[in-house]
Amino acid sequence: MPSISSNYIIRNNEIWTAIPGRVVGESPYGEFISKTGRVYKGIFSAITHKPDGFGEFFWPDGSLAFSGMIKDGRYIYGTRYDADGIPACTAKFDERERIIGKCVVYNEEGVRCFEGFVNESNEREGWGIEYGADGIAKVYEGEFKGNKRHGKGTVYFKSGNPLFKGEFWEGKYVRGIIYYKNGARLYEGEVDGRGGREGFGIEYGIDGKTALFAGRFKNNDRLYGRARGPDRGWSQGWFCRNLFYVERYFIEAPPLFPLLGLGQIRVPYVTRGIWERERGRLVRKFEENNPIVEFFRNVIGSL
């Protein structure tokens, strides 16, 4: 039976010599140092003279470089640390010590910032979770490609409620649902790359069920479509900041009318003109001879 003590080990074709007085006889554990000053403390094979089992590697300044399981001198599973001794990632490793499968990645302070799958280039690929500065609260959960949000995913408020749920393309928002802080649906439809309302969509009230507006959005604001008005009515027209040019007005039909095949009654020109909006309501109508009327019509013509 060969002795299980050794005065050297081999890692990556480099010989590490035993630290005097640190090799434990009758035990596969030892402490070794490389020519560059890196230290290994852990289990080794007296037959292959390679680290084999649980062990820890240290940088020349004594800070931890790796802690975990080792096989035939190579990392198998554990946590790698940067040159300052701060955790970089916890993962499984292949024969070239590249991350494979699911892993945990840490930021410069050693706080967890990502958990999920990566590709051979250590880029986020597949399903994963991004965490906030505390390493606990989720910022994003969903699909990644090439280190960017790509596919289906959810962005969260600090409270943990969803802020946006939908589709991403190369790190940019595409379409989905925007939520109020209470978790109710605020908007559903197309968005710009930063998550602002852009394109066709539907805006909802604080209950997340009552539709307030359906139509086109631009720069995160209403542009053209139908807006809910008083007395079960819908106004159709153009929007510009706090002004609304009403083209048509519709009233939801009483319960008897659907039986007659009438879902909405069009009331032409009842409120036609330019109105001022306040918190979604029409509060003041401008007369036709008001200069702002002509200005607004010119704005519409340029859209």
How many residues are given for the chain? 303
Domains and CATH numbers, the chain: 1-72 (3.30.1120), 77-156 (2.20.110.10)
Neighbours of 114 (CB within 10 A): 20
What pLDDT is recorded for position 55?
93
Question: pLDDT averaged over consecutive 10-residue blocks of the chain (303 residues)?
Answer: 53 69 58 87 84 91 93 92 89 89 90 92 92 95 96 96 97 96 95 94 92 88 76 63 58 47 42 48 48 50 45
Tokens of 298: 């010119």
What pLDDT is recorded for position 7?
66
